[in-house]
Structure 1
Amino acid sequence: MLTESFHYRPLFGRILAAAIVVLCLVGLAGLAVAGDWANLVRTAWPLAFFGALAVALFWRPRIMIEEHGVTVVNVLRTIEVPWPAIQRIDTRFSLTLFTPGRKVPVWAAPSPGIRGAVAVERADVRNLGESAYGPGHSVRPGDSVSTPSGQVAFVLRKRWEALRDAGHLDSGAIEEGSVKVTPHWATIAALGVLFAGTVASLVV
């Protein structure tokens, strides 16, 4: 069984979110210092909305690979996937877990774009997990360990294959509701209120 957990949250995303929030705060502070209260009131809503959106999109998403399973924290929901429920791991557009009746994309681990795919070297796709390779030993650019999706997929496949080969995934049918989905209601409500306030401030 697994003894160590693996948590992944991209550093660049946190830096980007922090930069956007700081810029929004600087904008508000600048208007306050200038005494431009009319524009301060008008722009407070959109700046607050973009700051909150940046946190939701880039700061919060992450994936946690642990002994009991995989927890994926996306923008608007958290998905808890037990190991036996994982049928396939793919990296076509982003790291994605395929389970019975549901596929779980991992927002924190996107696959590379065209430029990133061109930069992939052969050394980056060697000695991956057996399940990473397709017909003719083909492999997706998103499986390269030089990419976010490939880094996480490598760890995930290694542990999933170890559990599979040890027989820990042969428990029979997956129970209904074993994949738990928890919406981020507070985030959804906050973004909804801030967006409504933004629209209202622009119309007035």
Structure 2
Amino acid sequence: MTSDPKAAPEFAERCYRSSAGIGSGVLLLALAAWLGGDAIVSGEGRTPWLALAGLLFAVPLIIAFTVRPAVWAGEDRLLVRNPFRTITVPWASVEAVRAGYSSEVLAGGAKYQLWAIPVSLRQRKRAARSAARAAAEDVTGTVSSTAPSPGLLRAPSDQAIEDLRELAERGASREGAQGVPTVRWAFELIVPSLVGLALLAGLGGLA
């Protein structure tokens, strides 16, 4: 039995990431490479070694907190990639998805933050003002050329959380969505950073 290659998939996985976080991470990595590289090439005495240890310590942390965070919403599960952990959450185990001062998912009796979906109180207030203005115009029956589009009536983080709630409700009954959350630590980032910290401490202790 063959499938039509032109047919649209039943479900397209959604990915949520912070463009501001990625942008700041790229800038910080470029700055670290510039300063650290210059110190390694031009420095004297212990300076190149200190620069190398500093890069080994700082670069994994920059990647962890800026470039790495992401949330993938699949047909059967939610995959949360935070700075130092990757959590796989089957939809059936999701108890709640909410956004207060931070975005988080409650599953299996534990709480996991969604670093890739940061809450912006400024965007939330802006969306609330847009919604109030739209409601006032609807009541008075006036039509404004500057009326906000539906996408501006809710902060992006709140819209993302609402989407995840709907996906959790829709996918909870699926056979492949059963199970409990699993956690994997990002040792590929933790270990180099700890080694860099140890080197910095050792070099700093030398006379």
Secondary structure at the aligned position of 1:63 is classed as: strand
The alignment covers a number of residue pairs equal to: 177
The 10-residue stretch of structure 1 (152-161 or 69-78) with the greater mean CA deviation from structure 2: 152-161
Amino acid corresponding to residue 97 of structure 2 in structure 1: I
Secondary structure at the aligned position of 2:115 is classed as: strand
Structure possessing the higher radius of gyration over alpha carbons? 2
Is 2:155 the partner of 1:146? yes
Is 2:128 the partner of 1:121? yes
Rounded to whole Å, the distance in 2 between the matches of 1:153 and 1:63 is: 11
Conserved? CA contact 2:32–2:59, under 8 Å: yes
Secondary structure at the aligned position of 1:72 is classed as: strand
Rounded to whole Å, the distance in 1 between the matches of 2:130 and 2:171 is: 26
Q: Which residue of 2 aligns with 1:15?
A: 23
Rounded to whole Å, the distance in 1 between the matches of 2:84 and 2:101 is: 19
Deviation at 1:122, TM superposition (A): 4.7
Relative distance call for 1:37 and 1:21 in structure 2 (3 A) is farther
Amino acid corresponding to residue 65 of structure 2 in structure 1: L
Deviation at 1:97, TM superposition (A): 0.9
Conserved? CA contact 1:124–1:146, under 8 Å: no
Deviation at 1:21, TM superposition (A): 1.4
The equivalent position to 2:91 in structure 1, one of 58, 79, 83, is 83
Choose between structure 1 and 2 for higher RCO, CA contacts under 8 A separated by at least 6 residues.
Answer: 2
What's the RMSD between the two structures over aligned residues? 2.8
The equivalent position to 1:38 in structure 2, one of 46, 54, 63, is 46
Rounded to whole Å, the distance in 2 between the matches of 1:30 and 1:46 is: 13
Q: Percent identity?
A: 22
Q: TM-score, normalised by structure 2?
A: 0.73
The 10-residue stretch of structure 1 (69-78 or 187-196) with the greater mean CA deviation from structure 2: 187-196
Relative distance call for 1:159 and 1:8 in structure 2 (3 A) is same
Unaligned runs of 5+ in 1: 127-143
The equivalent position to 2:182 in structure 1, one of 180, 183, 192, is 180
Rounded to whole Å, the distance in 2 between the matches of 1:78 and 1:4 is: 21
Spell out, residue by residue over 1:72-105, the C-alpha distance to the aligned partner (whole angstroms, 9 max, x if none). 0111111111111111111013221112311121
Rounded to whole Å, the distance in 2 between the matches of 1:5 and 1:145 is: 22
Rounded to whole Å, the distance in 1 between the matches of 2:48 and 2:79 is: 40
Unaligned runs of 5+ in 2: 1-9, 135-152
